[in-house]
Structure 1
């Protein structure tokens, strides 16, 4: 491909005439399928493990404070119960609002790999600095500033995945990605158990300080690797050749019937305005918030496991198996959701399982029953893992709108984490009945909002045929013409594909 063509922006994609391009655009379906499988394998081998490991490190760093609490963090820093809860909550004061401008920026920068990688390095450094704090003000400052770089990660990577995978490929990938969070709760506990049991007094430092130093250093190292491992966008990823980049763009254009790109005159603020005006965004925002509040047990899981009456090391080890199971179920659920194209019941059924877990825990303090209920509680995250995937499916175009909507949904949703930081009040332990009732009611609220979203999407699907002619005029027609030119097919063929698009619910 000529050098000047390589430099073209995403919004000016032209059809290449080189041999590889011609081969990929052949009408031979078997060759096309083989090339797509090869592209997906390359993406899956590089993008998915990288995203999953980063998410694992993200949550290990974020919840390290809950493990450190078991080994004297509160006493060493002189924290009261309210101050400790505030330390947990303050992260989300910066984390939630920062997600929106971060995703707005991400949809317009050319190298998301460098942007996300730099954020990983920054939060790793901030996490490590938590180990040098000596008072409430110091740890509060660290928690405030760790929320800013972390804000770029989850909605940013989910948006990046939506720029590479089709609607029926995205769910299982997002589930693999989210499994990193769930596994982090298991491995985080195991790593914390090892550090806290063996590092007390080394170099005159408390074990909980070593926990932050070690985990922060690992995150920083992987952050630099991330800048090389992650892809950018389909039109400019350095480790794909020209034919593979073109195929990646064509796949998404075929999936939606129009090019996955913004109009030339669409600004970063237009994407924000479009997202806010769409009622689906608002519903998703509140559904996400209620889910996260229902899942807020994650930040207190070691504390809740400690109510079983075991020592610190055993408590942290026992906290791991429920999350390993949840991670496996999350991936299986995502795979099945992609196979069926269904969304609501693949989310809501896990909320209902978590509700059963809370009901069991409300009814007994028996060790076996209580521990079994913890396994059920963690499955609520299997449903939440599909939230931004559903947002991407329900608000697919233009990309600027999709990007902002994902930032809004996840940013607003994490207000549930702020509320959840105060829901599991130590004064309500060891039963925590009030906490469980609040979480249970949150999942009930999520169910009603999910049903409302499902009804809206069914209604919109029923209206698509009647609105098809209107959608073919003006900017809509231009995008379909661009898709036809990109794919090397006639406008009529592109129009036929566009008519096959339906929202997934």
Structure 2
């Protein structure tokens, strides 16, 4: 109860400070325009370190945990679970069923409680535990009576993994929207999304070392060590994130009073509203209705669906690389360079988009290049060309 009282007092203090200053000069309270710009640069540096410095590693682990089944497939995952036919593909896709179901309810709940510093890392810790459960799928039932050792057990684990992973990316974008203005958020979103790309490179490198060096360690298959190590790393990072990730500008403790006032004022100037009072149920319902009735949301959803479908081969990337004819270790190492290049391209493209304040042609040109890659992959069996197309 005392925590809520303290937050209310801080909001009242910010409101009083804002009201006491001549509204004709919003920079006066910061000592003038130049002083405000200097303070704003310092503020952005601090929140970049706190927010992106935490969200990017979380997103990397989010995709590492999500896609490690593709790497595990190279070391007996299917054989040990007695999978046949389309069961492996079903295991990959079932994750997104839980993911789709929970995205909107999760973000509404996050907005209601107003504690991303606890909610997002908490969900991360749960999906880390679910990842480790994958490692126990074929352990003898006498030792682990609560864990099944067949396709159904793996299916349920993957479904609930998607259930808790759904909280992160929409929640991360929501948190970014509370701290960054429209001309700032494009680059930050791209940096966040680089976590997805880096995970495909970093995850493959990690998987290469684990799968090649831990086969038979303590009597366990290497793919189980892959799930266990990556799940444990996820839980550790989640615990650390709880102490670093901020909440919203009005309730963050590590900002100075002037920085907190500026953080709130920036968002008011950019959007016309602050984040006070937005956790009310009526406000959330109204926002949901507005989103569902906006045709632009549906068009963007359609474009995003097309992009996700076109990139669905990511889960099979190690399998596709294996068709180039190299051994398992080299195959996993070959997965890294394409995504490292994509990370650099995403960063510089988004930076240029923010500078020019142009979005359409930046997006369209990226999609066009992707189409060329698909055409090359379909049209040739040349090893070098197929690798470049990826």
Could you tell me the TM-score, scaled by structure 1's length?
0.70
Match of 2:174 in 1: 159
Identify the match of residue 234 of structure 2 among 202, 219, 238. Answer: 219
> Is 2:260 aligned against 1:245?
yes
**1:277-324 Cα deviation digits (max 9, x unpaired):** 111221121111111001112111111111111111110001110000
> Is 2:366 aligned against 1:350?
yes
The answer (yes or no) to whether the contact 2:60–2:198 under 8 Å persists in 1 is yes
- Structure 2 CA distance for aligned equivalents of residues 265 and 107 of structure 1: 9
Instruction: Specify whether residues 81 and 20 from structure 1 end up closer, same or farther in structure 2 by C-alpha distance, changes over 3 A only.
Output: farther
Match of 1:482 in 2: none
Aligned ranges 1:102-251 → 2 under 5 Å: 102-134=106-138, 135-251=150-266
The answer (yes or no) to whether the contact 2:248–2:275 under 8 Å persists in 1 is no
The answer (yes or no) to whether the contact 1:24–1:243 under 8 Å persists in 2 is no
- Structure 2 CA distance for aligned equivalents of residues 68 and 332 of structure 1: 33
Match of 2:68 in 1: 64
- Structure 1 CA distance for aligned equivalents of residues 20 and 234 of structure 2: 42
Instruction: Specify whether residues 131 and 265 from structure 1 end up closer, same or farther in structure 2 by C-alpha distance, changes over 3 A only.
Output: closer
Identify the match of residue 41 of structure 2 among 27, 34, 37. Answer: 37
State which drifts further: 19-28 or 7-16.
19-28
Instruction: Specify whether residues 4 and 191 from structure 1 end up closer, same or farther in structure 2 by C-alpha distance, changes over 3 A only.
Output: closer
The answer (yes or no) to whether the contact 1:48–1:173 under 8 Å persists in 2 is yes
Match of 1:98 in 2: 102
- Structure 2 CA distance for aligned equivalents of residues 77 and 12 of structure 1: 59
Local SS of the residue matching 1:170: helix
State which drifts further: 236-245 or 28-37.
236-245
How many Å apart are 1:269 and its aligned residue? 2.1
Q: Which runs of 4 or more aligned residues in structure 1 lie more than 3 Å from their structure 2 counterparts after TM superposition?
A: 3-6, 8-13, 17-24, 257-267
Aligned ranges 1:262-341 → 2 under 5 Å: 266-341=282-357
How many Å apart are 1:261 and its aligned residue? 5.2
Match of 1:51 in 2: 55
The answer (yes or no) to whether the contact 2:40–2:262 under 8 Å persists in 1 is yes
> Is 2:269 aligned against 1:254?
yes
Match of 1:382 in 2: none
How many Å apart are 1:20 and its aligned residue? 12
- Structure 1 CA distance for aligned equivalents of residues 300 and 277 of structure 2: 23
- Structure 2 CA distance for aligned equivalents of residues 355 and 10 of structure 1: 50
**1:128-158 Cα deviation digits (max 9, x unpaired):** 1110002101111110111111111001001
Match of 1:408 in 2: none
Instruction: Specify whether residues 204 and 19 from structure 1 end up closer, same or farther in structure 2 by C-alpha distance, changes over 3 A only.
Output: farther
Instruction: Specify whether residues 317 and 224 from structure 1 end up closer, same or farther in structure 2 by C-alpha distance, changes over 3 A only.
Output: same
Match of 1:393 in 2: none
How many Å apart are 1:15 and its aligned residue? 2.6
Match of 1:495 in 2: none
Instruction: Specify whether residues 265 and 90 from structure 1 end up closer, same or farther in structure 2 by C-alpha distance, changes over 3 A only.
Output: closer
Q: Which runs of 5+ in 2 are unaligned?
A: 139-149
Instruction: Specify whether residues 291 and 10 from structure 1 end up closer, same or farther in structure 2 by C-alpha distance, changes over 3 A only.
Output: farther
The answer (yes or no) to whether the contact 1:126–1:145 under 8 Å persists in 2 is yes
**1:336-369 Cα deviation digits (max 9, x unpaired):** 1111111111112111101101111122111111
The answer (yes or no) to whether the contact 2:27–2:33 under 8 Å persists in 1 is no
Match of 2:142 in 1: none
RMSD of the alignment, in Å? 2.4
- Structure 2 CA distance for aligned equivalents of residues 138 and 335 of structure 1: 44
**1:414-466 Cα deviation digits (max 9, x unpaired):** xxxxxxxxxxxxxxxxxxxxxxxxxxxxxxxxxxxxxxxxxxxxxxxxxxxxx
- Structure 2 CA distance for aligned equivalents of residues 261 and 341 of structure 1: 29
The answer (yes or no) to whether the contact 1:113–1:228 under 8 Å persists in 2 is yes
How many Å apart are 1:11 and its aligned residue? 9.7
The answer (yes or no) to whether the contact 1:67–1:192 under 8 Å persists in 2 is yes
Match of 1:7 in 2: 8
